[in-house]
Chain A
Amino acid sequence: MAIRHLPFLLCFPILLAALPGCGNLEKEIDLDLPTYTPQYVVECYLEPGEPFRLALSKSLPFFEPFPTDPSEFVSSILEDSADVVISHAGTDYPLQNGIDVASLLEKVKVYNYYSTEKVPLDYDQPFSLSIRTRSGDVINGSTRLLPPVPIDSVVVEFDLVRDTLARALTYITDDPNASNYYRRMYHMHSLDSIPDQDFVTNDDFVDDRILVFGSGYELKEGDTIYNTIFHIDRAYYDFWLSTFNAISSNGNPFGQPSGIQSNISGAIGIFTALQYERRMTVVGK
């Protein structure tokens, strides 16, 4: 290579060295969102043997400030003074307005309408919801109870190489004569913790009636795990999926944003009856 090329060649490393080229690829920007009109939000899960409970709240503009105190946050979104009635098999169950303290203390869930009456176990008759808000808006919904799907077994398997770690395989049997939807929840240690797995699925691809849900090789001897299988209807499946699609597609350039698929008219939300089987297992060899 001739010496006369040197000035040109020297340009390259100098230019390359001058390219720090990095820095933060994420930055905060100012964004104006259009005016948003709040909507009612309903969450009502009917569990046989448990009191009727319902949360009626409202949605807010996205940039609405958050109260710093949790109780202020809750009261800022709850919608009180509505007439709430759940009907089943010719009986009306009116729900009183007020915080269901038992639910708050036991399950850390806030319901601002509740009844001391228990949800009856009935797979045949539908449950219907009727709400008239203090401003006269009407919210309606309907649902049915599905029988629970039992957990056939929870099998703990230790890894053959590193026998200190195990996984849990949870088996259920699917009814091939119906389209079934499931919600699988899996907790390690405590039901009060954030679940390690929580998703909905269906039986579209099941060949031989058997479904299995597995954990990773993360369990140690003596660990306690909770497997919960909810047998859910299509409406709840769609609602849950659309809700988590909405959450996950905010910030995911590959995601497909979603409106919320609700099964009630006049509000966003879900009115559903839940049956589940939950099994606690202590990991042992």
Chain B
Amino acid sequence: MKQKDIPHSPAPIRIAAAFLLFLGCSLASAQPGSVTISGSVRDGDNGETLIGATILDLSTGIGTTTNEYGFYSLAVPAGLESRSLSFSYVGFQTQTVDFIPVRDTVLNITLGQGVQLYEVVVKANSFQEQMNTTEMSVEEISTREVKVIPALLGETDILKTIQLKPGIPSGSEGSTGLFVRGGGSDQNLIVLDEAVVYNANHLFGFFSTFNTDAVKDLKLYKGGFPAQYGGRLSSVIDVRMKDGNNQRIAGTGGIGLITSRLTLEGPIQKGKSSFIVSGRRTYADIITRQVNSANADKPDYNPIPDYYFYDFNAKANFTLGEKDRLFLSGYFGRDVFGFDGDFFDFGFFWGNATGTARWNHVFSPKLFHNLTLTYSDYNYNIESKVTGFSFNVGSDVSDLNLKSDFYLAYNNRHTLRFGWNTTRHSFGVGRLKAGSDDGTVSFSGGDDFTAYSFAAYFADEMSLGERWKLQTGLRLSAFANDGKFFSGIEPRLASLYRPRPDLSVKASYARMYQYLHLVSTSGIALPTDIWYPATRRIRPQYSDQLAIGWEKLLGDRFLLTNEYYMKWLSRQVDFVDGAQLFANSNLEEEFAVGNGHGYGMEWGVEKQEGKLKGWVGYTMAIIRRRDFQPVAEGRLFSGAGTTFFPRYDRRHDFSLVLMYDLHPRLTLSGTVVYGSGDRTWLPVGRFAFQDVYGADFQPVVPLYGERNAFRLPYFFRSDLGIVYKFFPKWGESDLTLSIFNLTNRRNAFFLFLEPQYAEGTDPAENPLAIPTGIAAKQVSLFPILGSLTWNFKF
């Protein structure tokens, strides 16, 4: 199949050269007669670094924010006159520090939490700070918000909460899958402490792998991607684990309907090093085992299979001196589904493991460095055994990544970021081993790939006067696999214009390359979904996204945001009709490749402080796929060469989230979600298939029409949460009631068309039974569900 080549050169090279020339001219003007104030900002209660805290020179009005590692650097004019710096962070008491700027100074600041009994919402960015950065298309969520918002079965989930923000529709109901601005679920780069999480789901995506107690915050980029991020087309989801309390031993936990969890944290050396360990496990299997045991004597009883999942997070950090800090963190999670029978044993195991070793070093008050070594692994394995025979199939992907990131606060007009990373990817695709115990029968298959990727980037955030900021960036990426080398030039540009203090106008452009594809046919996150590297036939995907928007402060408390985007997607991967993705030795033959685009508009109003907090979001989007052709000759792709809709082409999406502190002990919360129905692919015709002698007669074989031409009924759900707090002597606890789907609406999970038979006719018993008609049916997943969770903190 012929594909359009990427215009690697000469245009991008010219752009890159112009960019570097511009950058060189800009940097030529240094800042004479100044000293640099640098350091970190932390939570005084537990020593956690505060990301995005604001540092403001009260004399000049010039300020900066802490980076993702809590580091800041600010140049102030040198002199003998005392100056004041204010350090602030929403939900914390602002601290002002006076000093005489005669030399470079390190100021490590701890902020105390606001003195109020109501739930404090800590946002990484205040509205002012958000309006003052070139970053756009960014959504953030803190775990404190997540814990108040009602959740399915009471299981708070940071990925599901972020879906309530504009422009981030989920996949199917209750799923953690994200389809950001017309992108597929595989186009999200999900990182936990900088290590990639390949399948961030438990239980088919109904729960994410992130234990809320262990997570500090989550930041999601929908566009305007900074140059340090790459590898996926549609979003970057940066999840940070807590560092651990370096002041005192503390714990959090909870007992809920489906899981219990416990987190312990504390100082290893007070004020200097700390640890955190966190675990979570479901326990439905404990009940089902008892049920099975009680019914073991009944001859017709079919035992309930075991299912459970668990997560384990651990992190330690060490201050090695004034300039060095070391972080070690890891995650391990598993889903286990199993059945042990008299003749048949079955086990299905899947899960992620990540590990991160991070070394922060402050070379100078202006230059901060982060060196990170990460390991990521996702695998699934299915084992079954019948007398004399065994069957084992699985797939895995693992990465070993080394990256180096520099942050240079060159002066108050230029903040530079540059770095590189290299990754070794190992793929085991569709590994199969089956056969008889005596070795007479043997089956095996699967493919192994080892691929390498490399990227280097450079970005400069420039202040061009009081009203303008510009961030220019360039990322060079490369990937080698299957004897083939791919490369991409990824320019990034973001700008900010603030005509008034209460208004900012932003625009951004980003090109992204993606060298890995997820092999998944449904909108549901299946554990058997396979990551597949770019090869000679399946070349890397890339996207270009252009976004413009504005943010307006309404009074002091409300922020109105509005963004418009266009996204062009090239070399998108879809699947041929009836694709066989499981245990397939020729997986590439199941692919079809084409292009796509998405455009849309997002509105949001947010209120962060006061008794009533929350946001309203609305998204209008149109998504298309086009020009698809099967990779393998002779395979069928309904709609080849034409334009069609992906399943997640959701025209309207509305969400309302409210949190109200009714009483120091009582917080109410509610969410309302409305969305156009997802698209689905339905049959329009049928034929009768009698087959050969001995086979079953099929009176209704569906003939499918246009790909995803139908829309499911609209989606509506409202949830209610009530948090009631207790303040015992040993700490704090609460009871959280979540009522999911308050109106008990039956939202469509999927549709199907079912042949109807006369009463008393069973087609399984009567091979020649003729239906009396066809019924269209809708299946829903969740009725109204209530759950109660007890949480505690000490």
Contact = CB atoms under 8 A, between A and B. Distances in A.
Interface of A: 1, 5, 8-9, 11-12, 15-16, 19-23, 25-31, 33-34, 36, 38-39, 41, 43, 45, 55, 57-68, 70, 73, 77, 107-110, 157, 159-162, 167, 171, 185, 187, 191-195, 198, 204-208, 210-212, 214, 216-217, 226, 228, 230, 241-243, 245-247, 249-261, 268, 274
Interface stretch (B209-217, B402-410, B518-526, B551-559): B518-526
A28 B751 CA distance: 10
A26 B684 contact: no
Given A29-B778, A66-B771, A260-B703, A8 B665 contact: yes
Contacts of B749: 253
Interface stretch (B114-122, B314-322, B323-331, B434-442): B434-442
Interface in B652-709: 665-666, 681-696, 698-705, 709
A220 to B, nearest CB: 15
B80 interface: no
Q: Which 10 A-B pairs have the closest CB atoms?
A: A258-B578, A251-B752, A245-B578, A31-B776, A19-B786, A59-B687, A207-B442, A205-B445, A205-B443, A258-B577
A61 B685 contact: yes
Given A73-B770, A247-B700, A253-B750, 8 more contacts: A23-B783, A28-B775, A28-B777, A73-B688, A185-B694, A193-B767, A217-B343, A254-B526
B577 A256 contact: yes
Contact of B751 (A9, A29, A36, A63): A29
A57 B776 CA distance: 25
B788 interface: yes
A38 B705 CA distance: 12
Nearest to B778: A29
Contacts of A25: 746, 779-781, 783
Contact of A204 (B389, B445, B713): B445
Contacts of B698: 243, 247
Nearest to B771: A66
B784 interface: yes
Contacts of A212: 389, 436, 441
Contacts of B435: 207
Contact of B702 (A11, A65, A250): A250
A254 B524 contact: yes
Contacts of A214: 386, 389
A115 B573 CA distance: 48
A108 to B, nearest CB: 7
B176 interface: no
B753 A250 contact: yes
B636 interface: yes
B692 A254 contact: no
A251 B752 CA distance: 5
B788 A274 contact: no
Contacts of B522: 253-256
Nearest to A208: B442
A160 B44 CA distance: 68
B340 interface: no
B643 interface: no
Contacts of A260: 701, 703
B785 interface: yes
A161 to B, nearest CB: 7
Nearest to A61: B685
Contacts of A23: 744, 783
A33 B521 contact: no
A31 B751 contact: yes
A166 B408 CA distance: 74
Contacts of B704: 246, 257-259
Given A73-B770, A207-B435, A257 B578 contact: yes
A245 B702 CA distance: 10
Contact of A66 (B432, B436, B772, B784): B772
B601 to A, nearest CB: 29
B489 interface: no
A242 B578 contact: yes
Contacts of A252: 752
A30 B699 CA distance: 22
In this complex, the member of B526, B636, B722, B773 whose beta carbon has the largest number of chain A beta carbons within 10 angstroms is B636
Given A60-B686, A268-B703, A257 B722 contact: no
A38 B701 CA distance: 13
B113 interface: no
Contacts of B448: none
B581 to A, nearest CB: 8
A250 B683 CA distance: 8
B68 to A, nearest CB: 38
Interface in B533-572: none
Contacts of B524: 253-254
Contacts of A194: 696, 764, 767
B768 A108 contact: yes
B593 interface: no
14 contacts: A21-B785, A27-B746, A27-B778, A28-B777, A29-B777, A31-B710, A55-B690, A60-B686, A66-B770, A70-B768, A159-B387, A191-B693, A205-B444, A256-B581
Contacts of B693: 107, 109, 191
Contact of A59 (B575, B686, B694, B754): B686
Contacts of A245: 577-578
A257 B443 CA distance: 28
A41 B686 CA distance: 10
Interface in B708-751: 709-710, 713, 722, 724, 726, 735, 737, 739, 744, 746, 749-751
B109 interface: no
A160 B342 CA distance: 11
Contact of A110 (B690, B753, B771): B690
Interface in B94-111: none
B585 interface: yes
A248 to B, nearest CB: 10
A195 B770 contact: no
Contacts of A67: 770
B20 interface: no
Nearest to B344: A216
In this complex, the member of B389, B443, B665 whose beta carbon has the largest number of chain A beta carbons within 10 angstroms is B443
Given A19-B786, A31-B776, A70-B770, A191 B694 contact: yes
Contacts of B291: none
A66 B776 CA distance: 15
Contacts of B779: 25-26, 253
B56 interface: no
Nearest to A23: B783
Given A27-B746, A247-B701, A60 B692 contact: no
A61 to B, nearest CB: 6
A59 B696 contact: no
A162 B299 CA distance: 13
B753 A62 contact: yes
A5 B780 CA distance: 38
A108 B580 CA distance: 32
Contacts of B709: 34
A242 B752 contact: no
Contacts of B390: none
A87 to B, nearest CB: 22
B739 A15 contact: yes
Given A207-B444, A245-B578, A5 B724 contact: yes
A205 B784 contact: no
A15 B786 CA distance: 8
Contacts of B746: 25, 27
Contacts of B172: 253
Contacts of B436: 212
B636 A246 contact: no
Nearest to B526: A254
A9 B735 contact: yes
B744 A21 contact: yes
B579 interface: yes
A5 B786 contact: no
Nearest to A254: B522
